[in-house]
Amino acid sequence: MLLAELFYSIQGEGKLCGVPSAFVRTSGCNLRCTWCDTPYTSWSPEGEEAAVAQIVGRVRETGARHVVVTGGEPMIAPQIGALCAALKAEHLHVTVETAGTVFHPVPMDLASISPKLANSTPHEREGGRFAAAHEQQRLNLGVIQRFIDGAGDFQLKFVVMGEEDLEEIATVLAGLRGWKPADVLLMPEGTDVATLRGREPWVAEVCKQHGYRYCPRLHIALYGHARGT
Ligand code: SF4
């Protein structure tokens, strides 16, 4: 599969925020979010071909007990099932981060599902040539439900920019079963501390009102927006 990067860092988002983890980042995505923070896996995919055994060996070398398989969209990576099965065979805790538009019955401990809201649609970027395809694919409630039903644990992580996102989040949640407010994470959009700071108080208040979980971007605070972190 095409591997963008593999590194050892601190999980900066979600229920396992703060846990030292190895990150396996596949390259390639079926979406084109306008604010994508890893464009080298989506808008301009890059990386090196790597076999499952090579990837598992490099994860083993990090010494991590938690591994995060992310992207891009890992669910479209060839051999994603074999990779996750091999990582589980190493007795690692496996998180898979997905936008929830493509389903495979992949072994994992935590499904980190990030449904993409209208704020992600690239109306301006590259003349808007990906906007229609993105809009058509960005939400698939049936796929998200399969992840929820099939996972030992899951989280629904929404990237939010403003109050206009709340109505769409409510609509998405109304179409899903089996979640509780603590499974819902709101994460402010932004790749720099100043932007995040500007959105944090508002997002925190919404979480308090609804019982959702506030999702920081700890890796940005620790390392800035840098590859390999
Ligand atoms: S789904 Fe993720 S990797 Fe793909 S374009 Fe959106 S933010 Fe980037």
Q: Measured between alpha carbons, how far is 139 from 141 in angstroms, rounded to an integer?
A: 6
Print pLDDT tens along the chain (229 aa): 999 999 999 999 999 999 999 999 999 999 999 999 999 999 999 999 999 999 999 999 999 999 999 999 999 999 999 999 999 999 999 999 999 999 999 999 999 999 999 999 999 999 999 999 999 999 999 999 999 999 789 999 999 999 999 999 999 999 999 999 999 999 998 888 888 888 888 999 999 999 999 988 888 888 888 888 8
Q: Measured between alpha carbons, how far is 215 from 203 in angstroms, rounded to an integer?
A: 9
Question: Which atom from ligand 1 is nearest to the alpha carbon of 43?
Answer: 5
- Report the residue among 27, 29, 112 best suited for mutation to probe ligand 1: largest number of ligand atoms under 8 A from its CB: 29
- By residue count, the chain amounts to 229
Cα 39 to averaged position of ligand 1 atoms, centre (Å): 8
Q: Which residues line ligand 1 (CB under 6 A)?
A: 29, 31-33, 36, 38, 41-42, 71-73, 99
